[in-house]
Amino acid sequence: MKGLRVTGILLLIFAAGWAVIAREDPASDILIGQAVMRPLDDRQLGAFLSIDNRGDPDRLLAVSSASGRATLYNPAADGGLPVQTGVSSLALDGAHIRLGITPGILSDGALVPLTLTFEHAGPVVVKARLSDPATPGQAADVGLFGVGDICIVGEGEPAPRINLTVEPDGQGWKVLVTAVDFTFSEDLVGLYHVPGTGHGHIYVGGMKLGRLYAPQAHVGALPKGTHEIRVTLNTNDHRAYVVDEDPVTASAMIVVD
Specify whether 121 is located in the same domain as 19.
yes
Which carries the bigger pLDDT value, residue 128 or residue 22? 128
Specify the pLDDT at position 104: 67
Specify the pLDDT at position 42: 83
Specify whether 154 is located in the same domain as 126.
no
Specify whether 233 is located in the same domain as 165.
yes
Specify whether 35 is located in the same domain as 69.
yes
CATH of the domain at 123: 2.60.40.1890
CATH of the domain at 250: 2.60.40.10
Cα 17 to Cα 33: distance, rounded to the nearest angstrom: 6
Cα 226 to Cα 82: distance, rounded to the nearest angstrom: 10
With vertex at residue 234, the alpha carbon angle to CA 226 and CA 94, rounded to the nearest 5 degrees, is 40
Cα 198 to Cα 212: distance, rounded to the nearest angstrom: 9
**Residue that terminates a domain, selected from 130, 162, 181:** 130
**Residue that terminates a domain, selected from 130, 162, 196:** 130
**Residue that terminates a domain, selected from 130, 156, 180:** 130
- For the cut 70, the answer to whether the pLDDT of residue 21 exceeds it is no
The count of domains in the chain is 2
Inside any domain, residue 59: yes
| DSSP 8-state class, residue 65 | B
Domain span at residue 162?
148-256
CA nearest to 64, candidates 129, 10, 117: 117
Rounded average pLDDT over 208-226: 96
| DSSP 8-state class, residue 68 | B
Q: Compute the CA torsion angle 250, 252, 253, 256 (nearest 10 deg).
A: -130
Give tens-digit pLDDT for 161-211.
Answer: 999 999 999 999 999 999 999 999 999 998 999 999 999 999 999 999 999
Q: Which amino acid is located at 44 in the chain?
A: Q
Specify the pLDDT at position 138: 87
Specify whether 98 is located in the same domain as 173.
no
- Is 236 in contact with 196 (CB distance < 8 Å)? no
Specify whether 157 is located in the same domain as 98.
no
Cα 200 to Cα 161: distance, rounded to the nearest angstrom: 12
- For the cut 80, the answer to whether the pLDDT of residue 76 exceeds it is no
- For the cut 90, the answer to whether the pLDDT of residue 38 exceeds it is yes
Specify whether 97 is located in the same domain as 30.
yes
Specify whether 122 is located in the same domain as 157.
no
